[in-house]
């Protein structure tokens, strides 16, 4: 489309051109608002940077001699740190993996 010469246009033609430009800009703004709304609805479902597993309970992975448990997430509990300093190994506190599998199977059958 050739560029119109604004200096040679009449006032009425300039007003019509301004209205046409306003309509095109309004249509484009509506399209962009729709795209923004779609993007914001998608990002509201899953927060940016947040894990989908955040806040979910996890089966305990380690058990102490007094029955304390730890899932292996976050900072090590004091009872575990003290036991490791006392000479024990982290593997000494592992809960039997076969027992955890049975527990998972029971949950799946519900």
Q: Is 101 contained in some domain?
A: yes
Q: How many domains would you assign to the chain?
A: 2
Q: Is 15 contained in some domain?
A: yes
In this prediction the pTM is 0.42
CA–CA gap between residue 87 and residue 77 (Å, rounded) = 16
| Nearest one of 29, 9, 32 to 21, comparing CA atoms | 29
Q: How confident is the model at residue 49 (pLDDT cuts 50, 70, 90)?
A: low
Q: pLDDT tens-digit profile of 29-44?
A: 999 999 998 888 776 6
* Terminal alpha carbon distance of the chain: 67
Q: What percent of the chain has pLDDT over 70?
A: 79
Residue 94 phi, psi (nearest 5):
-60, 135
Question: Within this chain, do residues 101 and 71 fall inside the same structural domain, yes or no?
Answer: yes
Domain residue limits at 17:
9-44
Question: Within this chain, do residues 102 and 68 fall inside the same structural domain, yes or no?
Answer: yes
Question: Within this chain, do residues 67 and 105 fall inside the same structural domain, yes or no?
Answer: yes
The residue with tokens 């399209």 is 31
CATH of the domain at 71: 4.10.430
Question: Within this chain, do residues 38 and 67 fall inside the same structural domain, yes or no?
Answer: no
Question: Within this chain, do residues 72 and 33 fall inside the same structural domain, yes or no?
Answer: no
């Amino acid at each position: 489309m050739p560029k119109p010469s604004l200096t040679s246009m009449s006032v009425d033609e300039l007003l019509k051109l301004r209205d046409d430009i306003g309509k095109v800009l309004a249509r484009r703004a509506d399209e962009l608002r729709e795209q923004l709304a779609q993007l914001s609805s998608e990002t509201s479902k899953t927060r940016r940077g947040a894990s989908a597993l955040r806040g979910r309970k996890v089966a305990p992975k380690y058990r102490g001699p007094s029955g304390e448990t730890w899932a292996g997430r976050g900072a090590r509990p004091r009872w575990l740190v003290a036991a490791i300093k006392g000479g024990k190994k982290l593997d000494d506190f592992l809960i039997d993996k076969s027992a955890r599998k049975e527990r998972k199977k029971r949950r799946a059958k519900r």
